[in-house]
Amino acid sequence: MAASVKMLIASPLRPYTGADEVELRGATLGELLDDLEARFPGTRFRIVDEQDRIRRHMRFFVNGEPVFDLAQPVSPADEVSMVQALSGG
Amino acid sequence: MAAKGTKLRKTAKKAPKRAAQKASKKATARAPKSKKQLVLVATRKGAWLFHGDAARKTWRSDGPHFLGHVIHHLVLDPRDGRTLLAAASTGHLGPTIFRSTDMGKSWKEATRPPAFKKVENLPEGKKARSVHHTFWLTPAHGNEPNVWYAGTSPQGLFRSEDGGVTWTEFFDLASDPQYRAWLGGEQEGTPDGPSMHSVIVDPRDPAHLYFAMSSGGVHETRDGGRHWKPLVDGMEVVAGFDASNLTFHDPHCVRMSPSNPDRLYQQNHCGIYRLDRPATKWKRIGKAMPKAIGDVGFGIVVHPRDDARAWVLPMDGQTVWPRTSVEGKPAVYGTQDGGKSWMRLDAGLPKGEAWWTVKRQAFAGDNSNPVGLYFGTTSGELWASPSEGRSWDLIARHLPEIYAVETATIG
């Protein structure tokens, strides 16, 4: 079983998670989001579209570096952050 | 506030008085008793419910619901009088549908919102479509409880058979080469994106449906969605373009007459039209509008009990398409003879310097007698007329940009 990784949750999704940080299981960013969906149904589609593209105004950072690929490997020591990009008024 | 009294100004060919009186009698005869009126307002920053008394004189605001969410459409299921669906997105998050069965006290999210199928092995340079937002919600036939249709941006048609909890694509337009071509690209769409709208169910036959696409024209199925065909004959396109190419057709809003399902009205990018089935050629009835006003607009409302009566809200369609009230003087225009003549209905509306835009979903009518009309502006004003447009009052102002207005009667 994959080890757990902490992910900082963007504020628009905190009504789903009830917390600003959650521990998720997975070896890639995509697997973390699958676990997020399993625990908090509805979250994944609001972050990733049906073609598995990260939505335009959602961003991920692993250890401070921007990540755009769901296949990005992650490990328990990584700091994974989900943030919302600015999108107008 | 609104001026009192009635003001009807004839601006086109004179409507035959006897026909109008007959229409009025016919409309009154079958009118239901007035119940409490609900006006559902979807805005760029949330949703509001306005509860009116039986006389539709005083209104109580309930909102905001989903503050900060873009609510594209908010509809109460007339079949059960209790299920509300809200098509939502935000500036950041993907689209979803919320559902309430207690008049908005609590909401549950769809477990499978409208989404296109995942496309594998796409050719180089091609981008698979994803639903940006659900634009339109339509409860299905009365004999199909819990069935709903949804139109999306970009254009997609979805169906739910469990009251909006899960959605599946009903017509895979992108897999049909002809329809895929007609969908065009993002540049062929509206400023808010290409959209599927005006999903209409024939009350006599649940397998007989219409939808419209901006762009992409009006389409019909008579076999429950197995086969679709265009219904654009007679509809004009912008000068210089080929009307035989459906990509250039931009129906803004299509409505079926509730009292005569064979009669359709349409407000198009290029005029106001009527179609009486089984004919297949639209007639441009907007030609009878005053030349200085034109027949461009977005929404259209049809009388619930009289198929000869309809209302439009003209917008400035000159040159660069301001899409504001013509000369800053907003007015509704009504017909009582199927579009042969139109009357200006502006009593109570500002007499000038009101540069409003009213979107295609933001103009609605109720089932009362006389019919109540409602519209919301992009500047956040909600206007109502309990007298079929003869006088107007402001229900609310300072709301966010209004995207859609719907009505419902509740017991």
Q: What DSSP string runs through B319-351?
A: TT---SSGGG---EEEESSTTS--EEE-TTS-S
Res. B280: pLDDT tops 50: yes
For chain A, list residues whose CB is within 8 angstroms of any CB belonging to chain B: 10, 12-13, 41-42, 45-53, 55, 57-58, 84-85, 87-88
pLDDT band at B26 (very low <50, low <70, confident <90, very high): low
Q: How far apart are CA A29 and CA B192, in angstroms?
A: 31
SS3 helix, strand, coil % of chain B, rounded to 5? 10, 40, 50
| pLDDT computed for residue B328 by the predictor | 96
Mean pLDDT of B311-321: 91
> From CA B337, how far away is CA B306, in angstroms rounded?
10
Separation CA B104–CA B396 (nearest Å): 19
Per-residue model confidence (pLDDT) at position A89: 67
Instruction: Report which of B361, B367, B342 is spatially closest to residue B402, judged by C-alpha positions.
Output: B361
The CATH code that applies to domain B9-114+129-410 is 2.130.10.10
* Cβ–Cβ gap B130/A49 under 8 Å: yes
Residues 6+ apart with CB under 8 A from B376: B41, B43, B358, B359, B362, B382, B383, B399, B402, B403, B404, B405
Do the chains contact at A52 and B130, CB–CB below 8 Å? no
Whether residue B382 has pLDDT greater than 50: yes
CB of B117 within 8 Å of a chain A CB? The answer is yes
Nearest to B111 among A10, A41, A58 (CB): A41
Choice between B157 and B192, residue whose per-residue pLDDT is larger: B157
Phi, then psi, of B210 in degrees rounded to 5 = -125, 155
**How far apart are alpha carbons B341 and B312 in whole angstroms?**
12
Provide the pLDDT for residue B33. 53
Number of CB atoms found within 10 A of residue B395's CB: 21
Average pLDDT over residues B318-337: 93
Give residue B35's pLDDT. 75
Q: Does B286 have pLDDT greater than 70? A: yes
How far apart (Å, rounded) are the C-alpha atoms in residues A48 and A30? 9
pLDDT, tens digit (0-9, with 9 covering 90-100), for A65-85: 999 999 999 999 999 999 988
**Closest C-alpha to B376, from B401, B407, B353:** B401
pLDDT of residue B10: 36
Q: How many CA atoms lie within 13 A of B141 on its CB side?
A: 14
Q: Alpha-carbon distance B378 to A82, whole Å?
A: 33
Query: What is the pLDDT confidence band of residue B186, given thresholds at 50, 70 and 90?
Result: low
Beta-carbon contacts of B43 under 8 Å, excluding residues fewer than 6 positions away, are B71, B376, B380, B399, B400, B401, B402, B403
d(CA B379, CA A8): 37
User: Poorest-confidence range of B121-125, B244-248, B250-254?
Assistant: B121-125
B166 at the A interface (CB within 8 A)? Answer: no
Instruction: Quote the pLDDT of residue B3.
Output: 32
pLDDT (mean) for B221-230: 97
Cα Rg for chain A, rounded, in angstroms? 12
Q: What are phi and psi of B43, to 5 degrees?
A: -130, 175
pLDDT band, very low/low/confident/very high, at A86 (cuts 50, 70, 90): low
pLDDT tens string B330-370: 999 999 999 999 999 999 999 999 999 999 999 999 999 99
CB contacts < 8 A, A to B, total 51
Of B92, B94, B96, the CB nearest to A49: B94
Task: Please report the pLDDT score of residue B349 as a whole number.
Answer: 98
As a whole number, mean pLDDT of residues B223-252 equals 95
B48-95 confidence digits (pLDDT tens): 999 999 889 999 999 999 999 999 999 999 999 999 999 999 888 999
Two structure tokens written together for B139:
């409860």
Mean pLDDT of A32-61: 96
Q: Which residue has the higher pLDDT, B290 or B25?
A: B290
pTM of the full predicted structure? 0.91
**Per-window interface: B 72-111 vs A, CB < 8 A:** 90-94, 96, 109-111
Say which DSSP state A38 is in. Answer: H
Q: What is the mean pLDDT of residues B167-180?
A: 94
Distance, CA of B338 to chain centre: 19
Mean predicted lDDT score pLDDT of chain B: 91
Residue B27 has pLDDT above 90, yes or no: no
pLDDT of B127 > 50? The answer is yes
Dihedral sign computed on CA atoms, order B400, B134, B197, B32: negative
Query: Which residues on neighbouring strands pair with residue B87, listed in sequence order?
Result: B73, B97
What are the tokens at B304? 């619930």
The answer to whether the CB atoms of A42 and B117 lie below 8 A apart is: no
Taken as a whole, chain B contains a residue count of 411
Mean pLDDT of B171-186: 88
Q: How many residues are listed for chain A in this entry?
A: 89
Kindly tell me if the per-residue pLDDT of B15 is higher than 70.
no
Is B194's pLDDT higher than 80? yes
pLDDT score of B19? 45
The whole-angstrom distance between A40's CA and the closest CA on chain B is 11
Query: How many angstroms separate the CA atoms of A33 and A46, rounded?
Result: 11
Q: Domains of chain A by range and CATH?
A: 4-84 (3.10.20.30)
CB of B157 closer than 8 Å to CB of B170? yes
Say whether the ipTM exceeds 0.85: yes
Band (B123; pLDDT cuts 50, 70, 90): confident
